[in-house]
Amino acid sequence: LLSELRGKCPLFGSDLPQTEETADVLGAFYVLAELPADCFGAYVISMAT
């Protein structure tokens, strides 16, 4: 898992079908990716209902 996450290849393509919920989650990660790592701690996404 770590080697995949550290790799240069995208984990999914830009043509990934997205629900509104998926777009919200990915949007959060896009924002986090722009920030320095020391700006946030653990980040948990729970899809539990």
Q: Which structure tokens are listed for 42? A: 């653990």
- If DSSP codes are grouped into helix, strand and coil, which group holds residue 20? helix
Could you say which residues of the chain have pLDDT below 50?
A: none
> What pLDDT is attached to residue 26?
85
Q: What is the pLDDT of residue 9?
A: 86
Q: E-assigned strands of the chain?
A: none
**pLDDT given for residue 42 in this prediction:** 80
Residue 44, domain member (yes or no): no
47 within domain boundaries: no
Please check whether residue 45 lies inside any domain of the structure: no
Domain count, the chain: 1
Its domain, for residue 32, covers: 2-39
Say which amino acid occupies 26. Answer: L
Q: Which residues contact 28 (CB under 8 A, 6 or more apart)?
A: 43, 45
Predicted pLDDT at 41: 79
The encoded tokens of residue 46 equal 């729970």
pTM beyond 0.75, yes or no: no
- Site of tokens 């777009």: 23
Examine residue 46 and state whether it is found in any structural domain, yes or no: no
Residue 35 in any domain: the answer is yes
